[in-house]
Structure 1
Amino acid sequence: MNDLVFIGDWTKDRVLGSGSFGVVVLWRHNRTDEKLAIKTCKWSDELTEKHRERWTKEVEMLQKSDNVNIVSTKELPPEFVSGLERMNPSRLPILCMEYCSGGDLRQLLNKAEFCSGLKEVQVRQILGDIRNAMQFLHGNKITHRDLKPENIVMQIIDSPGKQNIGPQAQKKVVYKLIDLGYAKEIDSNSVCASFVGTLQYLAPELFSSKTYSNSVDFWSMGLIAFEVICGIRPFLPYLAPVQWIPHVKKKAHDNISVYETYHGDIEYSNELFPESFISKPLKALLEKWLRVALEWEPRLRGRDTPSKVTFNIPAEQATAGSKIVIFDLLQEILSKKIIKVFSVSTISQHAYEIDDKTNISTLKKYLEGDTKVSKETQILISPKSFLDLGDDELVVNYWNDSCNNMIYLYDKTIMIKDVIEPIVPKAVQRSLKENQKAMYNFKNSQNLYRNSVYFVMSQVEMYESLINGLFVRAESFKHGSKLLLLNHNKVDKCIGKLADKLDVVTKMTETGKKHIERLRETGTGVNYLGGFDKIFKDVDDRSEKITKLQLAWNQLSVRLQSATRRSNEVLTTDINNFVSKNNFQTILMDTLKTYVHFKKSEFFTDQRCKEKQCTDIIKLSYECLKLRCKILHEMRHQPFVLKLIDLNTELAKIADIISNAADTTDKLNLDLTTAIDELTNCMWNTISLLSSDADDIANLPYSVVSFQKRDFKIGEPVSNHCIQVPNIQDDEKLKSLIEESLKLRKNHSYLTAQLNMHKELMKKSSIDYSFLAE
């Protein structure tokens, strides 16, 4: 098909892939820009009957495999039937498929930046899509038999309803299985006898047995899962199958990797390699799943019965007593919610499995154990809201599986710690300690280059998270100052109402003081006035405290205005200027280029047999460490960091003062209410006491006696209880009596409630005025 470029309105774009006897070509429609991947057989007489059967079977299986994670077939346009006739000498069916524009998984894994595995979001997506496709095939009694990264392609899909504009645009990727050429319909209990597939991803029984079942796909799934997580296969990847099988055969059920140490020893491990980009909780869950997928015994592989329990049980009985769990277990793992937290003060990433009931208080306990930052000094902020998260809030509200840092942790006492040791892979540590002229064999140099790339990329990721954490903190201060202003205004209104209430109470007490002073000057009713002195003194004390509160509050308002202004100052420019001058991008690009150059040298067989120096990658690792130390040292003294530290301290103090002022205002308001009640009760109690002590009505002040309008009659005395004063000849005495009565009438309303209120005078509220010292 090399000389065929145009068929009708279709133009040949390029060859997508070529296998042992098939070739896939991309065709593009000139008017609609539609793209099709068309697979034809490039042989004719050389094909065996078995090959023809395989080809026909692949076409039939793809046509009936209606699954989103299996590449779909399309109807071949009529012009291709005749147009490709001379290019299809075998006369086998032509396979027309959807075009997946993202390439295959092998191309992704071959990129230098993914030499230590893919990001967690990608790992989740890949494993979920492969699980879905393989469960569909096995559910239809089809075994793929050639599952490998080259047979997993990526379809790029624009999210509907969203505009993908700019560098931040995210497009959805769907991973699909292709090439069912080796797939075969088998019963779950039957076996196959053909030796097929790519050697490095074949299950071990295919090398030692003539029969196998669909559990061979479980082994391939496990190898691919390990590789997308760590960037390398789990079982002695630098050796051929005939070399690694004897070692892997000895592994225990819990072993999920077998590797060669720096000194050439064979080691067995129950864990994924630490140089990967997935979180610890997901890592632990996938290690559990890999034990099931990479079980050596094929009849127990993928099932819920571990081999170590069934050593003495016949395989048939063990299989009958267990069930396949590999798909359901993986689905359960991928459905787990894992919250990711970046600690700014310790520059460290943390992750925890959560459920729908996990609250922020629980998350703080986890973080306290890992970061040593106490719960009391922790501040958790989500980029979703930029607000300090409350202890009772649910963590799941801030979970986002597509986000690398869902919550940022800050320490109230410090922005960034002075001494933070980096995590350096062992291979890189060894190279930095040894002489740069040390020689490395092919296997050790592979590990060194791969781990060095991981180390540099981890520092880039750390730095990006730190910068994002500073941006989030700056934004949180803007939101925090707005909330403080709202709280300030609420308390300010309360203080205003308190001042108005104080004015009323002060006028009452001032009037009372004048009347009592007048009574004392005349010596009238002195025995009944002691309780009022205590009330007036308490009101004066509270008035003094309220005055101090108002003065302190006015000072606080000025501080808050200043802090709000500073929090709204744009720190983005300062941070971006610093990042533009201090970043890891140059070292990262140089490291990736060095790794690519090293990988190209692998194609030369003679280079694999020689030991070599790795001074280039060692130097880059050393420069990365130096740059990390320099950046962190200079960052601590940058103006934008000092501003953040200042705002952190100032806004925290203001928040405490506002809170204390609110409490104090409430207490003083209650005290004034109590003072009013005390004064009223004292007045009425005084009146009651005077009434009870009087021998008759003549001994009471005139105003104590109550008269109604109906009691007055023309020509009669105003009261039947009036004492007759016959023959009063002395006008001076009568005048004196009337004057005394008028004085008592004017003053008795202020002398009523004293005695009963004496019991209440000791019940006073304690008030904390420590905020006034701020």
Structure 2
Amino acid sequence: MNLGSFGPWQLKRQLGLGGFGDVHLWQNLETGQEIATKSLKENANLSQDEIVKLQQRWQQEREWMTQLQAPYIVRGLNDLVEPQFIAYLTERHAWRPLQPIVMEYCNGGDLRAQLQLVQNINGLAEFKVREILHALRHAIEFLHTKCRIEHRDLKPDNVVIHNATDGRRIYKLTDFGFARNITENTMLKSIVGTRNYVAPEVLDTAHYKNTVDYWSLGIIAFELMCGNLPFIPHQQLYDIVTNIRKKKEKCIAITEDINELKYVFHEKMPIENRMSKVFLTNIEDWLTIALDQNYHTRGTRLVPETKERVLTFYTDLDRILAQKVLTVFVLPTLKFYAWELTEQMTLLDFRELVKRDTGIEDMFCIFPTGHPRTVLSHTYRAIDFFVEEWQNNRDSDSPPAMLYIDDMKCREYQVTQPEIPVNLKKYLNARKEIPNWLLRTIEQSTHFMLGNEQLQLEAFVSGLKEYALTMEHEIFQFDAEEKGRPLQQYFTALTDMHGRVEQFCMSVEAAQRACLTQIGNCDNFFNQWWAKAWKFKEDIATLNGLKTKVSRYYKSGLRRAKEMAVNPFFDQLKNKDAYKLLEFRRHLETVQKVRVNEKERLEACKTAVYACLGERENALKSPHLKFAYSDISSVNQEFLKLRNIVDNSLRQLEEMGNNLTQSTIDFHTKIIDIYKGGKVQSTKLAQDGVSTKFLNGNADVENSISELLHYPVTPLIEEVTGMIVQMDIEEDMNKNNDLPATINE
């Protein structure tokens, strides 16, 4: 096909080349619109019957693509571009008078290209798998139910990606060359499709129905999750179909063991994947109905009550894809966890989940920077931990986990044994010749191990930094200079109580002097009240001493948290390719481009694995990391003690205030009784805030005593506040030499 430019349409480049045709990109220079054109190539080896059949399929594909209007299906544009341009393309088409197929252009390439990237050798990230399965599930249901069409050639090559201007990634199904109308009463008999994606009944009986698309989607799902096809793809077609026919209902994969010369049937996905445990467990169950070898029951489940089979292929997948999965990294064990959250799940329910799976009873939650939440609140529900945008935990803007958890009872973390894939244990030191397909499996296992260890290290280091930032934030909220904060409330209450105690003591003293002048000796009575007054003074002195200690330790904790939060060690270690993962990926790229002999490939894997194990020991057990975790944990635990001191002191102050109020009332009442007993009628006792004075008059005795006991407290509080401020200034002058590192019991 000799193409150039036509009017505003300019040929940009070739997008793809296949056995029957090729695809080109065009752009309208006036509007900026981009389109793709699909054309057939000349093929002199086809028989007349094959030519007729190919022409029929081409016409049908063009018509269907024009008619199909769905968000997850590539749309045909033959009827929407200028007829002159269509005529120009048709003139240059090798199969005149067939029109080339004009369709919308998806600028992100196809899914096959994504799977071939070395970073995806163990499959795609979970959030991408979810997006793709969501798109394909809706595309297939639309074809089956709305259009009565079965695709018959589902594979990653026929799923294209469009990167929208708003940042969304849209996956669309294309290539309807093998599609056919669904027949009601007859089984289709033509053998079409692509090996390893086509259902077994197509290959061994040629009798099948639209459930062939269920099988193909199951194969695609498996490959997306781990980078491998499930059923011994390296073997001959006969062996593949024969062993699939042997598999039981729960089997979702078959591998070959070259040591024991046998095939192994699996009910679980290989561990070399990037899925969360929650998603993996559910998708494994769904795969059992998608990969049911019986095409009559495929996609259905037996209802125990009715003994009838019901189609659950779509509803089961919808439920799985709708799950909110919280990814959590537990610092003391250096492990990832994942839990499904629901709207009904309470914070207590979540705590029980954590306790059940981790053994942590007293957990401390750490929210990554940018999380909608900042600190844990009893008003939260479990769903509040989930962040939709952070499902891609390998995106540069997303943290490794949505939540970090520490155990408040721990001061040291545990370094667990590395997770070594079974293929490395079995074949890494093999002496016999390793076939090419198994070498790729070993490379996949090596890449998974390096990537898994790198992710674990990044998550731990990121968690420690977030821990320090969280502690800095929490301690800062206790800042005494901010009104309404607990520490400010504590200091204010302490100062206020100091003034009230002094007022009470002055009231007792003033009353004693008045009694001595007007009534006579009342020593026994006042000795009792002086004992109470001195007890109040002792208690407030004790609390004042504790206040100084609280202030010092508050400043010490804040300083240590700040220093830890800005420590460059965290970023250096996080950004370091500690386990040479990038270096190994460059090796894999070389293997893709040029032929590397089997011995060199196996040796590269062996070197990478042993280097990783050695570096892992150095990295995770380094004194820097041990100190960082121990130090920030101690800051947290000591700050908890500090808060307890403040809370207990506030309760003591409240209790003291109640006692002081009651004592004042009791003292007031008894003084009145004394004055009445002394028959004092013409002398009034008053207080001006500085000295006692007596006024002649016939005022009521109770009013006289009331005036006495309402000693002006404001000047006294100002005096005490000034003393405390001076104490803080003197303390700050010596803080560099006198700030403690830890808090005592």
Specify the TM-score bucket, using the shorter chain as the normaliser: 0.7 to 0.9
Partners in 1 of 2:601 and 2:101 — Cα distance? 50
1:754: which partner in 2?
A: none
Q: Secondary structure at the match of 1:268?
A: strand
Partners in 1 of 2:627 and 2:540 — Cα distance? 39
Amino acid at match of 1:387: T
**Identity within the alignment, %:** 23
Is 1:593 the counterpart of 2:579 in the alignment?
no
1:73 corresponds, among 71, 76, 86, to 76
Q: Secondary structure at the match of 1:68?
A: coil
Per mean C-alpha deviation after superposition, the further-off stretch among 120-129 and 31-40 is 31-40
Is 1:423 the counterpart of 2:419 in the alignment?
yes
Q: Secondary structure at the match of 1:375?
A: coil
Could you say what the CA RMSD is over the residues aligned between the two structures, in angstroms?
Answer: 3.5
1:146 corresponds, among 136, 153, 168, to 153
Partners in 2 of 1:189 and 1:538 — Cα distance? 101
Shift of 1:507: 1.5
Relative distance call for 1:204 and 1:44 in structure 2 (3 A) is: closer
Aligned runs of 1:734-749 on 2, under 5 Å?
none
Partners in 2 of 1:12 and 1:193 — Cα distance? 40
Kept in 2: contact 1:7–1:83 (CA 8 A):
yes
Aligned runs of 1:237-252 on 2, under 5 Å?
237-252=233-248
2:328 corresponds, among 311, 324, 341, to 341
1:56: which partner in 2?
A: 59
Is 1:282 the counterpart of 2:279 in the alignment?
yes
How far does the alpha carbon of each residue in 1:682-723 deviate from its partner, in whole angstroms, 9 at most, with x for none? Answer: 3456678x5xxxxxxxxx6243999xxxxxxxxxxxxxxxxx
Max radius of gyration: which structure? 1
Aligned runs of 1:706-745 on 2, under 5 Å?
none
Relative distance call for 1:387 and 1:82 in structure 2 (3 A) is: closer
Is 1:668 the counterpart of 2:643 in the alignment?
no
Q: Secondary structure at the match of 2:97?
A: coil
1:359: which partner in 2?
A: 346
Shift of 1:29: 3.2
Amino acid at match of 1:99: Y
Aligned runs of 1:186-335 on 2, under 5 Å?
186-187=182-183, 190-263=186-259, 264-305=261-302, 321-335=308-322
Aligned runs of 1:424-503 on 2, under 5 Å?
424-430=420-426, 434=429, 439-485=433-479, 486-503=485-502
Amino acid at match of 1:73: G
Shift of 1:747: 14
Is 1:129 the counterpart of 2:135 in the alignment?
yes
Kept in 1: contact 2:25–2:105 (CA 8 A):
yes
Kept in 2: contact 1:71–1:178 (CA 8 A):
yes
Kept in 2: contact 1:382–1:398 (CA 8 A):
no
Structure 1's unaligned 5+ residue stretches are 160-170, 311-316, 691-699, 707-741, 751-770
1:410 corresponds, among 401, 406, 412, to 406
Shift of 1:653: 3.3
Shift of 1:298: 0.6
Aligned runs of 1:94-113 on 2, under 5 Å?
94-113=100-119
Q: Secondary structure at the match of 2:54?
A: helix
Aligned runs of 1:571-610 on 2, under 5 Å?
571-572=565-566, 574-575=568-569, 578-579=572-573, 582-584=576-578, 587-599=580-592
Q: Secondary structure at the match of 1:651?
A: helix
Relative distance call for 1:331 and 1:637 in structure 2 (3 A) is: closer
How far does the alpha carbon of each residue in 1:581-607 deviate from its partner, in whole angstroms, 9 at most, with x for none? Answer: 84337x1122113333445578x9xx7
Relative distance call for 1:392 and 1:252 in structure 2 (3 A) is: farther
Relative distance call for 1:305 and 1:196 in structure 2 (3 A) is: same
1:719: which partner in 2?
A: none
Q: Secondary structure at the match of 2:39?
A: strand
2:717: which partner in 1?
A: none
Partners in 2 of 1:635 and 1:83 — Cα distance? 72
Amino acid at match of 2:330: S
How far does the alpha carbon of each residue in 1:266-303 deviate from its partner, in whole angstroms, 9 at most, with x for none? Answer: 22222111211111111111111111111111110011
Amino acid at match of 1:471: K
Q: Secondary structure at the match of 1:200?
A: coil
1:693: which partner in 2?
A: none
How far does the alpha carbon of each residue in 1:97-152 deviate from its partner, in whole angstroms, 9 at most, with x for none? Answer: 11111111111111222121111111111111111111111112110010011101
Per mean C-alpha deviation after superposition, the further-off stretch among 185-194 and 496-505 is 185-194
Relative distance call for 1:202 and 1:580 in structure 2 (3 A) is: closer
Q: Secondary structure at the match of 1:449?
A: helix
Partners in 1 of 2:577 and 2:347 — Cα distance? 33
Partners in 2 of 1:157 and 1:612 — Cα distance? 42
- TM-score normalised by structure 2 residue count: 0.83
2:692: which partner in 1?
A: none
Partners in 2 of 1:772 and 1:86 — Cα distance? 87
Shift of 1:86: 3.1
1:753: which partner in 2?
A: none
Is 1:39 the counterpart of 2:38 in the alignment?
yes
Relative distance call for 1:454 and 1:189 in structure 2 (3 A) is: farther
1:553 corresponds, among 538, 543, 547, to 547
Partners in 1 of 2:559 and 2:419 — Cα distance? 39
Partners in 2 of 1:620 and 1:207 — Cα distance? 41
Is 1:628 the counterpart of 2:616 in the alignment?
yes
Kept in 1: contact 2:17–2:23 (CA 8 A):
yes
Relative distance call for 1:358 and 1:488 in structure 2 (3 A) is: same
Q: Secondary structure at the match of 2:388?
A: coil
1:177: which partner in 2?
A: 173
1:5: which partner in 2?
A: 4
Kept in 2: contact 1:442–1:611 (CA 8 A):
no
Shift of 1:42: 2.5
Kept in 1: contact 2:362–2:409 (CA 8 A):
no
Relative distance call for 1:348 and 1:704 in structure 2 (3 A) is: farther
Partners in 2 of 1:515 and 1:288 — Cα distance? 90
2:165: which partner in 1?
A: 158
Is 1:564 the counterpart of 2:564 in the alignment?
no
1:381 corresponds, among 339, 343, 367, to 367
Amino acid at match of 1:127: L
Kept in 2: contact 1:304–1:322 (CA 8 A):
yes
How far does the alpha carbon of each residue in 1:340-385 deviate from its partner, in whole angstroms, 9 at most, with x for none? Answer: 111122211100111112233332332233333x322534435415
Relative distance call for 1:537 and 1:359 in structure 2 (3 A) is: same
Q: Secondary structure at the match of 1:199?
A: coil
Kept in 2: contact 1:361–1:392 (CA 8 A):
no
Q: Secondary structure at the match of 1:499?
A: helix
Q: Secondary structure at the match of 2:478?
A: helix
Kept in 2: contact 1:69–1:132 (CA 8 A):
yes
Kept in 1: contact 2:331–2:404 (CA 8 A):
yes
Amino acid at match of 1:677: I
Partners in 2 of 1:684 and 1:422 — Cα distance? 81
Kept in 2: contact 1:386–1:472 (CA 8 A):
no
Q: Secondary structure at the match of 1:484?
A: coil
Relative distance call for 1:613 and 1:84 in structure 2 (3 A) is: closer
How far does the alpha carbon of each residue in 1:618-677 deviate from its partner, in whole angstroms, 9 at most, with x for none? Answer: 110111121122112226358765663453344333323222222222222222122212
Q: Secondary structure at the match of 1:409?
A: strand
1:26: which partner in 2?
A: 25
Partners in 2 of 1:214 and 1:9 — Cα distance? 42
Relative distance call for 1:251 and 1:513 in structure 2 (3 A) is: farther
Structure 2's unaligned 5+ residue stretches are 394-400, 480-484, 685-697, 707-741
Amino acid at match of 1:119: A
Relative distance call for 1:188 and 1:462 in structure 2 (3 A) is: farther
Kept in 1: contact 2:14–2:25 (CA 8 A):
yes
Shift of 1:50: 1.7
Is 1:508 the counterpart of 2:500 in the alignment?
no
Per mean C-alpha deviation after superposition, the further-off stretch among 102-111 and 396-405 is 396-405
Say how many residue pairs are matched: 675
